[in-house]
Amino acid sequence: MLYHDIVIIGGGPAGLAAAAAAKEAGISDILILERDEMLGGILNQCIHNGFGLHTFKEELTGPEYAQRYIDRVLEEKISYRLHSMVIDISRDRQVTYINREEGLVRLQAGAVILAMGCRERPRGALNIPGYRPAGIYSAGTAQRLMNIEGYMVGKEVVVLGSGDIGLIMARRMTLEGAVVKVVAELMPYSGGLKRNIVQCLDDYGIPLKLSHTVVDIHGKERVTGVTIAQVGADRKPVPGTEEYYSCDTLLLSCGLIPENELSRQAGLEMDRVTSGPVVGDDLETSVEGVFACGNVLHVHDLVDYVSEEAARAGRQAARFVREPRKKEEKQDALLKGENGVRYTIPQHLNVECMDEQTVVRFRVDNIYRNKSIVVYFDGKEAVRRKKRILAPGEMEQIILKKSAFSSCPDVKEIRICLED
């Protein structure tokens, strides 16, 4: 059976950054498996700018950002396979993939890094009544058709959901000459970054209707219009608030879901809130030697954070290959989000083996103003940081330093919550 020290599943921004970091950490036998026809992942279709401000201190487009990492992979002569679909990962790190040239291949990995990214929530998950006419696209599919395939998907557009891709596509279609009638959002707040609301909607006069949803799609062969209604606190349409918008295209931007079918098949412990694997501060999952990073772990708002997290996974996977450590040797403290904090990544932390500092990322469950992010070690306040505004569309983070645990090295529970 073939063997590689590290096998990385996914050749997008997370997989590329993980590979570069693992090579830097001294591991040369690395293989990236990518199902698409090119490296770079979703960034290849994100031709707008706004990437790289944290990582490279300059503003880049998606393809430019991806190319920086692709160049590093090529310079370091890291092996990769394109058009290669991974169909199975076993608990002892055997990876099975298929492609046209090699057929079915099974190989043994010293460590596996999961970097498969995420997918869009489809129409079938939204329970919208009506026929299934042409003209209904997920925002990401429309983005690929326009930016890579060169097709104009419609002329009169309604967008359901205010995720970042939907906001960006509202602007993109406007620039291509389409008329975007409205962006409707079920929740009372936007799911996208504030800067995207300003730059993609406000700058182009596109209305955003919060607490609204599509209740009917009109047309049989092609979309001819949609009916939008206001929703109450129970997220159900309010009778009498219906509005009709004529359109030939409906874009769906209703959330992203980590691509974790392989993770579940491998028997990884999964987090109910993130829909990604449960990980420690070293980003190792519940299966020994299997690490996860990027949008397969939890949906990020900035690709710079994906790269940062993936580089950490690459370094930790390299460390595991050099000096494997049994799961039972770890004595981890549990991390919990409470009182406004939906989840934390990581979900547990090993104080004895942690780096000098660990970044804990999380999202809140509503819009909050003038709150403090508070960290408790076994009920004792350890960190407090004031924040003027917190929103679900923007990921938050707090840094835990190893030195902070000097007075309580045997901490069992770390709670992160919001307080006045």
Q: How do residues 109-128 score in pLDDT, each as one tens digit?
A: 999 999 999 998 877 777 78
DSSP per-residue codes, 118-164: EEEPPGGGTT--B---BTEEEHHHHHHIIIII-----SEEEEE---H
In this prediction, residues 361-378 reach a mean pLDDT of 92
**CA dihedral for 167, 169, 171, 174, sign (positive or negative):** negative
Q: Which residue has the tokens 């901490």?
A: 411
The mean pLDDT value for 201-226 works out to 94
Give the phi and the psi of residue 327 in degrees, each rounded to 5.
-55, -40
Q: What pTM, to 2 d.p., does this model score?
A: 0.92
Structure confidence at residue 327 as a pLDDT band (50, 70, 90): low
- Return the SS3 of 366: coil
Question: What is the C-alpha separation between 178 and 180, in angstroms, rounded?
Answer: 6
Strand-pair partners of 249: 157
What percentage of the chain carries pLDDT values higher than 90?
78
Q: How far is CA 205 from CA 180, 202, 230, 321, in A?
A: 9, 5, 21, 54
Going by the DSSP 8-state scheme, the letter that residue 420 receives in this structure is: -
Q: What is the pLDDT of residue 17?
A: 97
Cα 132 to Cα 218: distance, rounded to the nearest angstrom: 9
**Cα gap 19→69, rounded to integer Å:** 9
Which residues sit opposite 159 in a β-bridge? 183, 251
DSSP letter at 231 equals B
401-415 pLDDT, tens digit per residue, is 888 888 787 888 999
**pLDDT confidence tier of residue 165, bands split at 50, 70 and 90:** very high
- Residue of 183, 184, 224, 229 whose CA lies nearest to 205: 183
Of 96, 67, 86, the residue nearest 9 (C-alpha): 86
Mean pLDDT in residue range 68-92 = 95
Find the length of the chain: 420
Q: What is the pLDDT of residue 406?
A: 81
Q: What is the average per-residue pLDDT within 231-259? A: 92
pLDDT at res. 352 = 81
Q: Count the Cβ atoms, other than its own, within 10 Å of residue 301.
A: 18
What mean pLDDT do residues 5-10 have? 97
Q: For residue 419, what are the β-bridge partners?
A: 372
Residues 6+ apart with CB under 8 A from 241: 229, 230
pLDDT value, residue 410: 82
Distance, in Å, from the CA atom of 320 to the CA atom of 337, rounded to the nearest integer, reads 28
C-alpha–C-alpha distance, residues 119 and 257, integer Å? 5
Per-residue pLDDT, 329:
55
- DSSP reduced 3-state for 368: strand
Report DSSP state, residue 301. S
What kind and span of H or E run contains 360?
strand 357-364
Strand partners, 383: 375
What confidence score (pLDDT) does residue 328 get? 53
What is the per-residue pLDDT for 331?
65
Q: Is the pLDDT of residue 223 over 60?
A: yes
| Distance separating alpha carbons of residues 49 and 62, to the nearest angstrom | 7
User: Among 102-106, 194-198, 381-385, 404-408, which stretch is predicted with the lowest mean pLDDT?
Assistant: 404-408
With 70 as the cut, is the pLDDT of residue 367 above it? yes
Enter the tokens of residue 341: 């904090």
Given a cut of 60, is residue 330 above it in pLDDT? no
Place of tokens 């028997």: 267
Does residue 319 carry a pLDDT above 70? yes
For residues 52 and 305, give the distance between their C-alpha atoms in angstroms, rounded to a whole number.
10
Q: Is 252 exposed, middle or buried (0-12, 13-18, 19+ CB in 10 A)?
A: buried
Q: How confident is the model at residue 42 (pLDDT cuts 50, 70, 90)?
A: very high
In the chain, % of residues over pLDDT 70 = 98
Mean pLDDT confidence for 164-186: 95
pLDDT at position 323 is 83
Mean of all residue pLDDT scores within the chain: 92
**Strand intervals (E) in 23-84:** 30-33, 49-51, 60-61, 79-81
Per-residue pLDDT at 104 exceeds 90: yes
